[in-house]
Structure 1
Amino acid sequence: MSGYKRMRRQHQKQLIALENKLKAEMDEHRLKLQKEVETHANNSSIELEKLAKKQVATIEKEAKVAAADEKKFQQQILAQQKKDLTTFLESQKKQYKICKEKIKEEMNEDHSTPKKEKQERISKHKENLQHTQAEEEAHLLTQQRLYYDRNCRFFKRKIMIKRHEVEQQNIREELNKKRTQKEMEHAMLIRHDESTRELEYRQLHTLQKLRMDLIRLQHQTELENQLEYNKRRERELHRKHVMELRQQPKNLKAMEMQIKKQFQDTCKVQTKQYKALKNHQLEVTPKNEHKAILKTLKDEQTRKLAILAEQYEQSINEMMASQALRLDEAQEAECQALRLQLQQEMELLNAYQSKIKMQTEAQHERELQKLEQRVSLRRAHLEQKIEEELAALQKERSERIKTLLERQERETETFDMESLRMGFGNLVTLDFPKEDYR
């Protein structure tokens, strides 16, 4: 496996490992928030239970205090009435004694009336006085009983009103506690939402940063590999050209030998032609001219051989120059072709890397927009939930207070109607003086 493939696989492993780590971190974060919500709910339930027990204990205590106060109030009235009755009876005795003495004095002063008649008149007067005092005592007892019953009834009403006030205070205390708990819960949920949002943005930034770092590293590696590949291709072409240059003298030598062979063959042909021409000229020419003809033919042969030698040298030079130029042009063409190919490959690599970078940036932008939309939607749902819960809590508060007040109003009306049937009249403004029954 090549190093580039190993690097790509390692990058994939790094991304997967980071995603798993971030997922575990988010799961742990949400579990922590869920536990905090559950703890708050449990604590709220415990607080409400404690408050309910406290209110029950308070009501029981108030009931005991009210019963004790009522008993004490009744005892105070009875004690006062007993004292007043004793005083009244003593006053009657004194009055009876005074009246009795007065009658006796009147009877003693009346000497004309017989004694028996005086006794009858005194007895009659005593009976009338005793009857009058008995009626007054009965009237006093009736007034005391009425005073006792009306004040006890008034005290019961007062206790009932006080109990109503305690019930109103308790229900308001309970509802205020619920509202405070709900507001604390909402503040906690908002804090949870903000912490979750911060964690989500931080995790997204971490993941995108790693992805961009790995892409930059990948692109840098690809660029380095391409540059190394370019250098290797250039080195290979250079070695090829060096080998061609080294091989060129051998090729030129072979071509030179070929031209030389052609020259030698031409020389042989000319030599044969010269011999044939010489023999022919000698045959058709007189002997005395042979010497001049031989010289002429010899000069002509020498001249032609010189021309052939000159042509040979020129062919060699032209061949060498042509081969050298052809080699330079071929090598230059190969260099140009290689440079063009490598440039195109580099441009393709740059275009590919730019495309990958743009796609990654577009992906990051989509991920960010998706996160922003999810966060915004979640916050909107949370705010709607808070608004609905507060409205429901306010509705519960209004309904429970209304129900309590209506029940208390019915209870008060029933109590007052019963008081009217009992003949106590309006107890709302009752304010009997202590001696009212006298």
Structure 2
Amino acid sequence: QKQLIALENKLKAEMDEHRLKLQKEVETQANNAYIELEKLAKRHAVQTEKEMKTALADEKKFQQQIVAQQKKELTTFLDTQKKQYKLCKEKIKEEMNEDHSTPKKEKQERLSKHKENMQHSQAEEEAHLLAQQRVFYERNCRAFKRKVMIKRHDVEQEQIREELNKKKTQKEMEHAMLIRHDESTQELEQRQLKTLQKLRMDLIRLQHQTELENQIEYNNRRERELHRKHVLELRQQPKNLKVLELQIKKQFQDTCKVQTKQYKALRHHQMEVTPKAEHKTVLKALKDEQTRKLAILAEQYEQSINEMMASQALRLDEAQEAECQALRQQLQQEMELLNAYQSKIKMQTEAQHEREQQKLEQKVSLRRAHLEQKIEEELGSLQKERTDRIKHLLERQEREIDSFDMESMRLGFSNLGTLDFPKDDYR
């Protein structure tokens, strides 16, 4: 029992150490996952800030390109107007020089009016060009902002998908680790149960072997004690027979004395009633009769002695044999009871081991089912989070685009998404 308790304590300590190790591994995994997500969030923040700075720089560069191009167009336009104005002016002068019928003052008025008309027309054309350039500038800047916003949306989508993929990968690694932990725990539980059951069976086997050896030793001791008792009885038998022989001898002597007294009394009586001449014959007859009876008594005495000795020897043999038989039956019954008891203990232990094995299998199966349910729920929750976050992001981005497009339409710009930009203008 002490060995079982010591082993149970040892196995419990081993299991506690195993669970502590697994718990530390889970905590390490969780900490590493948290650190990885923190690093990813920081990298995304840096990437977003970099994209914003790049977008601002690209927008400024794009605006500068448009302004430079428009300045160039305006300069070319003004140069063209000057040339046209000069050509028209020279042409009018030639026409007026060829016209000698028109007074000079009228010619001067016509020239001034023509100059004024040309200047007014060129001013309108310049204003129209500037208005077109302003609309072009504002429209393209607005479209560029829309492109930047769409690119920012793409980056946001890429970042959230990267984050969600990272979470999914981490969760899959966590689940694989939990399954590995469950399998290692199951292996340890099975090994510990086998170790405990083996020790229990070894102890029972050792106990049964000890009990059997003790029973055999007890049987041998009882048989030796009975044998010594019988030997002692055999040694005591001559003394007992001598006592009985003395008792028979005393009875014989007493009988002889009685017969002697009877003989004397009979002889005295016969002497009195028998004539003196016949005394000798009567005495001889009485003596012969006495001798015959004493011989018969002696023969009976010897026969009694022999019968007594034979009877006592037979009784001793029968008693000893009966004792031996009774002892053998008793010892056999005790051995059968011991075997039955040990068989019962063994069967009970085997049944207990079977129940323990079934209980462990049920425990392992239930724990695995809970783990699989937990994994399924966490994956479902993670998928829901993925769907919801992407949905909310896309809805927010769609609202931003709609709001931007509505503002653009209010400003008079539409179909900004159809404008194309050179790759150098927008990265």
Q: Shorter-chain TM-score: which interval?
A: over 0.9
Amino acid at match of 1:168: Q
Is residue 69 of structure 2 the alignment partner of residue 112 of structure 1? no
Aligned to 2:150: 161
- Select 2:64's aligned residue among 75, 96, 102: 75
How many residue pairs match? The answer is: 422
Q: In structure 1, what is the Cα distance between the partners aligned to 2:306 and 2:335?
A: 43
Q: Deviations over 1:306-333 (max 9, x none)?
A: 1111111110000001100111111111
Instruction: Give the percent of matched residue pairs that are identical in Structure 1 and Structure 2.
Output: 86
Aligned to 1:283: 272
Aligned to 1:338: 327
- Select 1:273's aligned residue among 236, 256, 262: 262
Q: In structure 2, what is the Cα distance between the partners aligned to 1:51 and 1:425?
A: 38
Aligned to 1:372: 361
Q: In structure 1, what is the Cα distance between the partners aligned to 2:203 and 2:134?
A: 101
Aligned-pair Cα RMSD in Å: 1.2
The correspondence of residues 243-392 of structure 1 with structure 2, limited to 5 A, is 243-392=232-381
Amino acid at match of 1:145: R
Is residue 144 of structure 2 the alignment partner of residue 144 of structure 1? no
Q: Deviations over 1:242-279 (max 9, x none)?
A: 11100000000010011011111111111111122122
Aligned to 2:425: none
- Select 1:36's aligned residue among 14, 25, 36: 25
Q: In structure 2, what is the Cα distance between the partners aligned to 1:424 and 1:268?
A: 171
Aligned to 2:176: 187
Aligned to 1:98: 87
Q: In structure 2, what is the Cα distance between the partners aligned to 1:73 and 1:317?
A: 152
SS in 2 for 1:248: helix
SS in 1 for 2:418: coil
Q: In structure 2, what is the Cα distance between the partners aligned to 1:432 and 1:239?
A: 125
Q: In structure 2, what is the Cα distance between the partners aligned to 1:138 and 1:430?
A: 25
Is residue 390 of structure 2 the alignment partner of residue 401 of structure 1? yes
Amino acid at match of 1:129: M
Aligned to 1:229: 218
The 10-residue stretch of structure 1 (19-28 or 110-119) with the greater mean CA deviation from structure 2: 110-119
Aligned to 2:403: 414
Q: In structure 2, what is the Cα distance between the partners aligned to 1:408 and 1:110?
A: 72
Aligned to 1:127: 116
Amino acid at match of 2:162: E
Q: TM-score, normalised by structure 1?
A: 0.95
Q: Deviations over 1:38-94 (max 9, x none)?
A: 111111111111111111110110011111111111111111111111111111111
Is residue 41 of structure 2 the alignment partner of residue 52 of structure 1? yes
**Unmatched runs of 5 consecutive residues or more in structure 1:** 1-11, 434-438
Q: In structure 2, what is the Cα distance between the partners aligned to 1:170 and 1:425?
A: 30
Q: In structure 2, what is the Cα distance between the partners aligned to 1:81 and 1:159?
A: 23
Q: In structure 2, what is the Cα distance between the partners aligned to 1:331 and 1:83?
A: 146
Q: In structure 2, what is the Cα distance between the partners aligned to 1:104 and 1:97?
A: 11
SS in 1 for 2:61: helix
